[in-house]
Structure 1
Amino acid sequence: MDAPELPTQYYTFKDCLARQIIARSPSDSSSDVDDAQLDDFSSFLASEVWDILPSTLRDASYETRATVPDLETMSLDNVPPSFSDTLTSYALCPDDDGAETFLRRVLSSYAADVTAPPPPWPSTRTKECELCERDVPLTYHHLIPRSTHAKVLKRKWHPESMINSVAWLCRPCHTAVHRFARTDELARNYYTMQLLLERDEIQRWKSYAAKQRYGVKRG
């Protein structure tokens, strides 16, 4: 049986562990953790403590940021000895309470990362159309059409942080998307580019549009 898929928060936590390992590694390079081992090492440490973290921390996101526990006072009594022993063995925690300090710093970085607000959508602008992949002038397509925002929030179709998400499309592709699906359908079922690209009409349009030369006048 395949192992259950881990949430994205787990991988963020592992990345925060890796950053702290790098920051705490002895500057004389005497530590046995090298670049090739860093992924395995941080994965091992993450797997040791992930399940003992409170669910409000493991499931933390921008929407649930108010439920994140106080990391300064949160009890870490149930951290397995193997976690502390491993850090000590690799000279990452030279003092007695070093493992706890190490983990609190990791958790502080993790909480900041997973509860950060989404980037302003205009900053996600691409050079190429996200549908036909041509390097042409772009418009932004509201993946959740603006006219549906009130309904989306009232019916809780999507979290508020997604409400202004956009894709950067050329004008022909932008028009095509709105031709192939109604506004409510776009809002509820096709609110990411990945979902849009699962639709047969969009795939057929993409294949066609990718071959068209921009700016060529047709008789």
Structure 2
Amino acid sequence: MQDISEQFATFKDCLARRFIGQPAAGADDTSDLNDFILYLADEVWPFLPPVLREASYDARDKLPNADTISLDNTPTSFVDTIVSYGLSSDNDAAVEFLRRTVHDYITQTSAPPPPWGTTRTETCELCQRAVPLTYHHLIPRSTHTKVLKSKWHPERMLNSVAWLCRPCHTAVHHCATNIELARNFHTMELLLEREDLQKWKGYAAKQRFGVIQRK
């Protein structure tokens, strides 16, 4: 069964970048590249240590150095394909190709989340208007201690923000308490599932910023 985890998708992307970066036979033909990379990833993924297949920023302290990982059980199908496509000269070089891919994968999965300031959008993430924005802590700061103690979310999520205009920011806090926001509405996707915020979104999207509309 094909793996659809976030980690698998990351590994597949790392493998694709390694493949594309090599002057290998067939590398210019990208029409079937996705299927080819998916085949390679499916072949080798189950043979990687579980600690790698569950890699994340929160588990970064448990991740081994790529140079120390044993890859002796790398499937022959993977090795033969890497060699036949000219990505490596022999079996040992094919395993080294995999090791470099694993190194890329560990680096990417253990990287810290981006600083909230770098996630800034051009429009409000609720009403989609291009107006001055504020940042809304998706997990309110006043709840951080409780969130960690109750293990509702991993620590890396605590500083996640959404960029909202002031009216939408106020509407979000009006619809739920900080505890409710932290536990049940900690992403924009979850917030947008609320019927009351969908109604607010429809209203706010029609308002001209800074203008009071009267008939």
TM-score, normalized by length of structure 2?
Answer: 0.95
| Residue of structure 2 equivalent to 1:186 | 181
Q: Which amino acid aligns with 2:141?
A: R
**Match among 68, 71, 77 for residue 76 of structure 1:** 71
| Residue of structure 1 equivalent to 2:197 | 202
Identity of aligned residues (%): 59
| Alignment partner of 1:156 is 2:151 | yes
Regions of 4+ moved over 6 Å: none
**Match among 104, 107, 122 for residue 109 of structure 1:** 104
| Alignment partner of 1:19 is 2:13 | no
| Residue of structure 2 equivalent to 1:60 | 55
**Match among 32, 35, 43 for residue 37 of structure 1:** 32
Aligned-pair Cα RMSD in Å: 1.3
- State the Cα distance separating 1:5 from its structure 2 match: 5.7
User: Unaligned regions of 5+ residues in structure 2, if any?
Assistant: none
| Alignment partner of 1:91 is 2:89 | no
Q: Which amino acid aligns with 2:5?
A: P
Measured in 1, the distance between the counterparts of 2:125 and 2:65 equals 41
Equivalenced residues, count? 213
| Alignment partner of 1:136 is 2:134 | no
Measured in 2, the distance between the counterparts of 1:108 and 1:4 equals 23
- State the Cα distance separating 1:77 from its structure 2 match: 1.4
- Look up the SS of the partner of 2:39 in the other structure: helix
TM-score, normalized by length of structure 1?
Answer: 0.93
Q: Which amino acid aligns with 1:42?
A: I
CA displacement, residues 159-218 of structure 1 (integer Å, 9 cap, x when unaligned): 111101110000000000011111100010000000000111111111111111111134
Moved more, 70-79 or 116-125: 70-79
- State the Cα distance separating 1:80 from its structure 2 match: 0.9
Measured in 2, the distance between the counterparts of 1:145 and 1:72 equals 40
Q: Which amino acid aligns with 1:171?
A: R
- Look up the SS of the partner of 2:173 in the other structure: helix
- State the Cα distance separating 1:4 from its structure 2 match: 6.4
Q: Which amino acid aligns with 2:202?
A: S
User: Unaligned regions of 5+ residues in structure 1, if any?
Assistant: none
Measured in 2, the distance between the counterparts of 1:170 and 1:61 equals 32
- Residues 1:5 and 1:90: Cα distance change in structure 2 (over 3 Å): closer
| Alignment partner of 1:125 is 2:108 | no
Measured in 2, the distance between the counterparts of 1:142 and 1:168 equals 9
- Residues 1:182 and 1:135: Cα distance change in structure 2 (over 3 Å): same
Measured in 2, the distance between the counterparts of 1:148 and 1:91 equals 54
Q: Which amino acid aligns with 1:24?
A: Q
Does the 8 A contact of 2:58 with 2:156 survive in 1? yes
| Residue of structure 2 equivalent to 1:145 | 140
Q: Which amino acid aligns with 1:18?
A: A
- Look up the SS of the partner of 1:86 in the other structure: helix
